[in-house]
Amino acid sequence: MITLAVETSCDETALAIYDSERGPIGDIILSQAKVHSPFGGVVPELSAREHTRNLLPLLDRLLKETGFDLRKVDFVSFTLTPGLIMSLTVGVSFAKAVAYLLRRPLVPVHHLEGHIYSVFLERPVEYPFLALVVSGGHTDLFLVEGFGKYTFLGGTLDDAAGESFDKVARLLGLGYPGGPEIDRLSKRGREAYKLPRPMMDDPSFNFSFSGLKTAVLELMRREKNFKVEDVARSFQEAVVEVLVEKTVRAVRETGVRRVVVVGGVSANSRLREAFKERSEEEKFEVFIPHPKLSTDNALMVAYAGVERFKRGITAPPNVNPEPNVPLQEFGKIWS
């Protein structure tokens, strides 16, 4: 079974061709980081316009590079939700047009489901497992009991983890996206300042990161001669500790001893290291995809698309994107 996958939920235009028997045939990602960088964050309208400009030339390049005959595609997978609505609309319209011309079915995928299954592109994980999804738009913890069977355990009450990396990077005068910059700088810094660990001792599985950004701002006002790398490191330590310790508590409370950590922030080198250390101490297994698969890509959409198609789940031609259908509901609606 071969699928063409389309991902345009945020600021990456991504396409992939994936064979369920043989694996990836090809994939291509065009980052819009340069377009949004002057604004310190993604500008929704510019994102949609960039997707419109780039999708067709990217498909053309992907087909030329792989020598793949598009007529061999069995179905078209696409991200239906969540994301920037205009950006999703461009990708959904594109997927519909290709599917129509090829006379092939359309298979809807949830962006977070894609992230979760990015791990499976490398190796399958046994059910049940916990999934920590940490991206620019989400910081959610799920219990996954089977494909499509998602229970929401908790999530951020304000900023997502990636969003807080981006906002703090902006305060520090670093570029967009801020996560990779803070990750890189932190390696040279030390945890000179002990920042708050928001909601770490709260009994829920919810998170909150907006206060941390304010704490960084106060710190920068207070300490006139701070080193950027020390502030970056102190901030990163705080985020990582909250993410890891809350997940460790979920492992203890649910008794589920397999954890997948996905989404853009899972590319963070300190987060990866901390999860490795704590999983050895607490005796659970942790699965984090290669950094290339952590950030947005279309291979993850293809993988989840194959799983949906195997279950006979397809979308009608009038399907419309939604900005934010929760994963647990998506699993029930499209089943």
Which residues contribute to the site for Zn ion (CB under 5 A)? 135, 296
CB-nearer residue toward ligand KG4: 170 or 257: 170
Residue 3 beta carbon to ligand KG4: minimum distance, rounded to whole angstroms: 20
Cα 58 to Cα 9: distance, rounded to the nearest angstrom? 16
**How far apart are alpha carbons 108 and 79 in whole angstroms?**
6
Residue 225 corresponds to which tokens in the numbers above? Answer: 């001669």
Strand order in the sheet with 23-31: 23-31, 12-19, 2-7, 75-81, 106-110
- Peptide bond preceding 177: is omega within 30 degrees of 0, i.e. cis? yes
Cβ atoms of residues 40 and 166 within 8 Å: yes
For residues 8 and 52, which CB has a smaller minimum distance to ligand KG4 in the complex?
A: 8
User: 118 vs 279, which CB is nearer to Zn ion?
Assistant: 118
Residue 177 touches which of Zn ion, ligand KG4, none (Cβ within 5-8 Å per kind) = ligand KG4
- The nearest distance, CB 22 to ligand KG4, in angstroms, is 26
State the burial class of residue 119 (Cβ atoms within 10 Å of its Cβ: 0-12, 13-18, 19+). Answer: buried
Q: Which residues lie near ligand KG4 (CB under 6 A)?
A: 10, 135-137, 162-163, 165-166, 177-180, 183, 263-265, 267-268, 295-296
Rounded to whole angstroms, the Cα distance separating 98 from 117 reads 24
Closer to ligand KG4 by CB, 75 or 207: give it. 207
Helices (H) and strands (E) in the chain, counts: 12, 10
Nearer to ligand KG4, 2 or 265 (CB): 265
The angle formed by the CA atoms of residues 4, 8 and 10, to the nearest 5 degrees, is 150
Q: How far is the CB of 15 from ligand KG4 (least distance, A)?
A: 16
In the numeric block, the tokens 């589920």 are attached to: 256
- CB-wise, 7 or 230, nearer to ligand KG4? 7
117 contacts which partner out of Zn ion, ligand KG4, none, CB within 5 to 8 A by kind? none
Q: Least distance (Å) from ligand KG4 to the CB of residue 178?
A: 5
The listed partner (Zn ion, ligand KG4, none) that binds 8, CB under 5 to 8 Å by sort, is none
For 222-256, give one letter per residue: b (16+ CB within 10 A) or e.
eeeebebbbbbbbbbbbbbbbbbebbbbbbeeeeb
Beta carbon of residue 316, minimum distance to Zn ion (angstroms, whole number): 25
CB of 269 to ligand KG4, least distance (A): 7
